[in-house]
């Protein structure tokens, strides 16, 4: 695997971290990836669940009744 376009600051931090741990940069990157991906990823939530979690505490909103007009007849574009 090749990783391109890594910022110089990130490379420097990786090199320093690898040196502190007595490893190569490649082994340090493997260890970082292994640690980051070792935990189980929860399944994605549905949009409905996300909305319910976000706004459920509000317990809904009471909207006023709006009077409505009757349906208008269709427009006649007769010739």
The answer to whether residue 72 scores a pLDDT higher than 90 is no
The answer to whether residue 62 scores a pLDDT higher than 90 is no
- Look over the chain and give the mean of its residue pLDDT values, rounded to a whole number: 89
pLDDT band at 27 (very low <50, low <70, confident <90, very high): very high
User: Are 4 and 11 contacting, i.e. CB atoms less than 8 angstroms apart?
Assistant: no
Q: Which of 23, 49, 44 is nearest to 34 (CA)?
A: 23
């Amino acid at each position: 695997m090749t990783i391109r376009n890594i910022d110089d600051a990130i490379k420097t931090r990786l090199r320093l971290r690898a040196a502190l741990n007595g490893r190569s940069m490649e082994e340090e990157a493997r260890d970082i990836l292994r640690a980051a991906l070792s935990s189980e990823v929860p399944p994605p939530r549905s949009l409905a669940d996300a909305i319910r979690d976000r706004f459920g505490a509000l317990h809904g909103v009471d909207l006023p009744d709006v009077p409505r007009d009757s349906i208008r007849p269709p427009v006649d574009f007769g010739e």
